[in-house]
Structure 1
Amino acid sequence: MIKKLFLLVAVTVLMVGCSRIRKVPLSSTSKTVEEQIIDYEVEKIILSKGFQSINPMVEAIREGGKLKLIVSTGIVECSGINIDKVTKTGNTITLYISALFDNSKTQFAIPQATVIIEEPIEAKIENLSFNIIPQNYEPISLKFNRNQIIYKIRGEFKIESNTTPQVELIKNEDSIQWNIIFTNLIHKKDSKSPLSNLKVTADALSGEILDYDKETISTYIDEGYLMGYLPNKLVLYKKIHSNNDIQYDSLWTYHVNTGEKGKIYTTKYKIYSASFNPKGEYISLIEKDDSKAEIFLVELSKMITYKITPPDYFHPKLLKWKNDNELCIIDVDGEKSTIFTYNIVENRLKKELELNKVIESFDILENMIVFTEADELSINKNIFLLDGNMNMEQIGTGFKPAFFDDKNIVYLTNDEDISKNMMKFYNIEKNSIMNSLDYNIVNYYKLNDETILFVENANFSNEYSLIKYHVSDRSVIAKYKVNSPNLFYNPDEEKAYISLTISGSDRNMNNIYCVDLNKLSISN
């Protein structure tokens, strides 16, 4: 059983006698009872900067036959605390606490101590009461805790954020202030406004806003869903429309240098995937209805669309460009997958291989293919490598495999015990794992021959870190705070094109932004 008690803290310093037993008058009776010093062990002391529970409090639990107390002193300006002694008077346990003051380490914090009572306490936890007696400090009383001041600022500025703000409690001359930094903010009243950062200074005792600085960090591009990216040239995205209860999709491009947007394709079916060929001359796409899927090729210079679905194969599921002129197509029908290549110059479709496996994802490099076999019961799938002669070998278990180069394959593997996606680097020639990245990675892609870009979700919330990682040096080059894992990166201008879902009063919107990463940089 757990008991949490908010305490009326006495701030008067009490004189302590030399004997182990003192008589203390109780406020509810004229009798006196003995205050007995009891044995205890301090298990640990920490200085919390969470500032969520800002009032003094004791939490009591039974553990291993002993009473354990988690003691929170409230906000104190100090470098640490000592538990000087613990006493028992009837069913009341009193903790005498002194603060430490090391000038180089003094800070606003909530000291928390875990105290084990070594002597038997027979009373039930619900019948116990607790006192904290500060010996040389006075707890600081604030009008708002951390969550309350954040909520107040969000309301006053009419902002919305799906990331956790950075919060500091500081002393500025004779005043105590909240310094709060919000990143990737959305304005509630205008969903098409750019994202921004907001720095706010507020009086900690009254909650009054003293100063603020708002900085725009993005441009709004359009409503839609990211589909593909031609580095430093074009962003490819999909829009979903509804007209008289009839839904249809359209495909658009955004020119990163001019900001020009253009519609290139419209269909009454759902666009499942779309991507540029390496030169940006064509876009391949899959669209689906309830019974089948079709493959189309859009020639951008002429704005002509060609249907290239393999005859008698109605379930094309995956597409990937092998090079500028060849597409790799995977058709999945039941428990069978068929691999095709299509040459856009020769207008030639070739059946390469048929497998009695359901391919869920794949990557292709020259004549090699790496793929995962579908498994609904596990996040980690069997990963297979098809060499240039179409010989197949299982190389591991995981998901999202991709070629880093002709000698190395990258993939993610999930540790189900801790719900963490780690990255593995597999060497084809040595048939072994050469490196592993201990991050919780939700998305990644190769940036160049030396660098991989990945998105980390460290705390399983809507906060993400975009990380540039140098593969051979095994070092982090740069790190940015973002609020979506769905993005493309422009290294020349240090910008990211992100897709972000915005909650609306009548419907949710999916917006696309161009974000200035220089304003979201995190120190390594």
Structure 2
Amino acid sequence: MKRMLIVLASIYLALILAACASNKVSPLIIKDSGLEPEILEDDSIVYKIEQIILTKGFQNLEPKVEILKRDDGFRLLASLGLVETSGVNIKDINKINNEINIHVENQLNSYGNQIAIPQILIELPNINLRSIENYTLNIINENYQPIKVKLSANEAISKVNADFQIATNTSPDIDIIKKGDSLLWKLNYKNILDKHNPETPVVDMAVTIDANTGELIESSKEFLSALIDEGSILDYIPNDYILYMKDAKGTSDSKKSTDLWIYDIENNTRELIYTTNSKIISAQFSPSLDSISVLESIDGANRLYVIIKDEIKVFRAMFDSSINPLIARWKDEENIYILSKSNTTSSIYNYNIKDGTTDLVNYMYADITGMQIQDEDVILTIKDEETEETYIQMSSNWINYKMKSEGYSPSFINDKLIGFLKFDEEADINRLFLLNMEDSKLYSSIDLNVSKYFEIDENTLGIVSDNKNNNDYTFHKYDIENKNLEEVANISSSQAYYDSEREVLYIDLKVPFESSKPQIIYSLNLDKKVLGNPR
């Protein structure tokens, strides 16, 4: 019994001693609090350089450090200002009080430097976003000083635009170079309108000015275009004719007349063929080019006229019933398909220009908004009354339809393919689709924001895309068989027509400044035209 009491007393004493032992906690029982480590008082900071670039984006020349928030934390973007350099590197990053200093070394070499804005993307893996926002971020120049100029890039552009009266929707390519003791801004403009040269309206221009004094050092122009006439293009026969309209001279706004002209591309001549006091809605050459259909509107009523080209003879189409033609399309040399509508139906009529007869082809209880014809095939664009969206249907007999697809602006590409546009909401672009006519299966789609497309030959499409961010357009060629897209030229308008024999674009442009010629047609020489730098 006595021995048992001694054992119990020993255990009790051991427990008391354990309770009075040191209060240090064993590392084995430390738990993660979930808090990220703060910036330590130690001067040195761990960093990782993700990227170094020498940028030519001269919008902001002042050195600065930005915090870029990301899903995985943040990065620092250090822009070092304007520097003559071949590269840069970080020597150290440290903390003094409430400031974080990024120590940068500039690198020069004997065989070539450039003036640029070095930018360094930096990761600080041991620092959280909450901590970094409480500190002042500094760039410490170890062996260089940023270059100062009196004229910023934007000021240089504004000065040149004002001095040369430049009309352009886009910014020039810009660079800065060192010549002797001088710093020079070099501006290269692509596809700009020259107000002082109406006969050669579109030019490329290069200008060099002193970055401190603003003095013009040199300038040059390359003439790329030739004015054809004022007006708007209505129809184009590739490589042969342009059919266009323009306001008749000597008419007032109250008595405005419109002239219809033909431009003969081969002979470089213009011919006035028709004048009207009504508004011209559309005009189109017949397949043989012997006749021209003209659809006019006056006081809400439309009229169809036919011009016999060689005779300059005009007659009005007189219909057998009350028809208000909204669309007119040549079916063949003697027949024109006409769309007319009532409250509930859309009717297609055939008008024969030889005997003046009108026959009903078909009618539909639908809102037809477009019609394209190739031989016996017709593509209709139809607006859905409930959704307000449009879809296309194709038929060879007005009874059986080979396809039905949501879209608009359809066109026959060749004997096998049709094209149409469809708005892609996610990408916010008008995407071009090509379908096989026989089985309605997708052949290809072109990932551009397409404004206009047309057949160049059996295997080539011309495509004009809208560059939303740059306020201009790009003309492309698309190889249908190889599905290859080629950029050809940046242009100022979506209304472009291609001449494959002369490597020329004919462009219909609304002039973006006050002018005695508010709408012009000009030719753009693609042999001289090159694309600007990628943007």
TM superposition score category, shorter chain reference: 0.7 to 0.9
Partner of 2:3: none
Secondary structure of the residue that 1:152 maps to in structure 2?
A: helix
Alignment partner of 1:302 is 2:311: yes
Partner of 2:219: 212
User: Which range is displaced more, 278-287 or 232-241?
Assistant: 232-241
**Cα distance change, pair 201–62 in 1 and its aligned pair in 2 (3 A):** closer
Pairing partner for 2:410 from 401, 411, 414:
401
| Matched AA of 2:232 | Y
Alignment partner of 1:522 is 2:531: yes
Distance 2:48 2:122 in 1: 6
Partner of 2:428: 419
Once the 2 structures are TM-superposed, how far is the Cα of residue 476 of structure 1 from its aligned partner? 4.0
Secondary structure of the residue that 2:157 maps to in structure 1?
A: helix
Distance 2:68 2:327 in 1: 56
Once the 2 structures are TM-superposed, how far is the Cα of residue 185 of structure 1 from its aligned partner? 2.4
Alignment partner of 1:165 is 2:172: yes
| Matched AA of 1:37 | S
Distance 1:244 1:440 in 2: 37
| Matched AA of 2:432 | M
The Cα offsets for residues 23-78 of structure 1, whole Å up to 9 and x where unpaired, read as: xxxxxxxxxxx883334454544433221112212234666696653321112344
Alignment partner of 1:327 is 2:336: yes
Secondary structure of the residue that 2:457 maps to in structure 1?
A: coil
Once the 2 structures are TM-superposed, how far is the Cα of residue 283 of structure 1 from its aligned partner? 1.3
Distance 1:335 1:407 in 2: 34
The aligned runs of 1:149-298 (5 Å cut-off) are 149-171=156-178, 176-188=183-195, 194-240=201-247, 243=252, 245-298=254-307
Partner of 1:36: 43
Once the 2 structures are TM-superposed, how far is the Cα of residue 313 of structure 1 from its aligned partner? 4.2
Conserved 8 A contact 1:415-1:421: yes
The Cα offsets for residues 126-174 of structure 1, whole Å up to 9 and x where unpaired, read as: x753321123443232333333222222222222222332333345577
**Cα distance change, pair 273–130 in 1 and its aligned pair in 2 (3 A):** same
Aligned length: 492
Distance 2:208 2:494 in 1: 30
Partner of 2:401: 392
Once the 2 structures are TM-superposed, how far is the Cα of residue 321 of structure 1 from its aligned partner? 2.2
Once the 2 structures are TM-superposed, how far is the Cα of residue 92 of structure 1 from its aligned partner? 2.8
**Cα distance change, pair 503–409 in 1 and its aligned pair in 2 (3 A):** closer
**Cα distance change, pair 378–459 in 1 and its aligned pair in 2 (3 A):** farther
Secondary structure of the residue that 2:154 maps to in structure 1?
A: helix
Distance 1:371 1:63 in 2: 49
User: Which range is displaced more, 396-405 or 323-332?
Assistant: 323-332
Partner of 1:469: 478
The aligned runs of 1:408-487 (5 Å cut-off) are 408-476=417-485, 479-487=488-496
Secondary structure of the residue that 1:153 maps to in structure 2?
A: helix
Aligned-CA RMSD value: 3.3
| Matched AA of 1:142 | V
Q: Output the TM-score relative to the length of structure 2.
A: 0.82
Partner of 1:119: 127
Distance 2:525 2:499 in 1: 10
Q: Output the TM-score relative to the length of structure 1.
A: 0.83
**Cα distance change, pair 449–64 in 1 and its aligned pair in 2 (3 A):** closer
Conserved 8 A contact 2:383-2:389: no
The percentage of counterpart residues that share the same residue type is: 29
Secondary structure of the residue that 1:243 maps to in structure 2?
A: coil
**Cα distance change, pair 246–59 in 1 and its aligned pair in 2 (3 A):** farther
Once the 2 structures are TM-superposed, how far is the Cα of residue 484 of structure 1 from its aligned partner? 0.9
Secondary structure of the residue that 2:257 maps to in structure 1?
A: strand
| Residue ranges of structure 1 left out of the alignment (5+ in a row) | 1-20, 23-33
Conserved 8 A contact 2:279-2:297: yes
Highest CA radius of gyration, 1 or 2?
A: 2
Task: Give the structure with the larger strand fraction.
Answer: 1
Distance 2:122 2:388 in 1: 42
Partner of 1:336: 345
User: Which range is displaced more, 470-479 or 483-492?
Assistant: 470-479
The Cα offsets for residues 442-474 of structure 1, whole Å up to 9 and x where unpaired, read as: 101111112111112234443211122221132
Conserved 8 A contact 2:362-2:398: no
Alignment partner of 1:497 is 2:506: yes
Conserved 8 A contact 2:200-2:223: no
Once the 2 structures are TM-superposed, how far is the Cα of residue 485 of structure 1 from its aligned partner? 0.9
